[in-house]
Amino acid sequence: MGNYTHMIDLLQLQKSMILAHLRAGDVAVDFTMGNGNDTLFLSQTVGAEGHVYAFDIQPSALASTEARLAAAGAPENYTLICASHHRVKEFVEGPIKAGMFNLGYLPGSGHKEITTLRSTTMPAVEAALDLLASDGVLLVAVYPGHEEGDLEGQMLDTYFRGLDRRKICVTRIQIVNSPASPFFFVVEKK
């Protein structure tokens, strides 16, 4: 966001939302590993006593994430899984304290046709909510600048609006005068 220090930094805001819930020794899931930025952040946050599970369907994502974690000296507290995130319950028993979704396509891959899809995003989010511990948090970043991302955002908005507010609090954070900009949901379990 350049030198506009007065503007909200969405990435920093996402991290602060996670840090309000996630502690050393906790279990977290990166549902969309990508290049491993969130995996690294979660790994460093939960520390050697904690564990992070990270999912991606592209082997190149696992390779770049593994390299990023090694280069950063991350604790060996992670399991990288080459599978769709909607299969999370096959690999993670729960409960989890935090989960992160960065929907869309793998940054820098050149494969913009490979995106997260409503058909797997919805069951992945439902599974994540099932696994979420009380006082846990899910962060779901949506990229409405491409058609599937826009449709994912609409689907999730409708789904989250239907959740019982006595059990789950869902906040949507969006720059309102930039409709194609990424936005995210913060889902907190009471």
pLDDT tens figures, 19-75 = 999 999 999 999 999 889 999 999 999 999 999 999 998 898 899 999 999 999 999
- Comparing 91 with 1, the larger pLDDT belongs to 91
Q: What is the pLDDT of residue 150?
A: 80
Q: Which residues 6+ apart lie within 8 Å of 85 measured at CB?
A: 31, 32, 55, 101, 116, 120, 121, 124
Strand pairing category for 132-142 and 183-189: antiparallel
109 pLDDT exceeds 70? Answer: no
pLDDT tens profile 151-171: 888 889 999 999 999 999 999
Kindly report the average pLDDT of the chain as a whole number: 87
| pLDDT band at residue 182 under the 50/70/90 scheme | confident
> What does pTM read for this prediction?
0.89
- The CATH number of the structural domain formed by 10-189 is 3.40.50.150
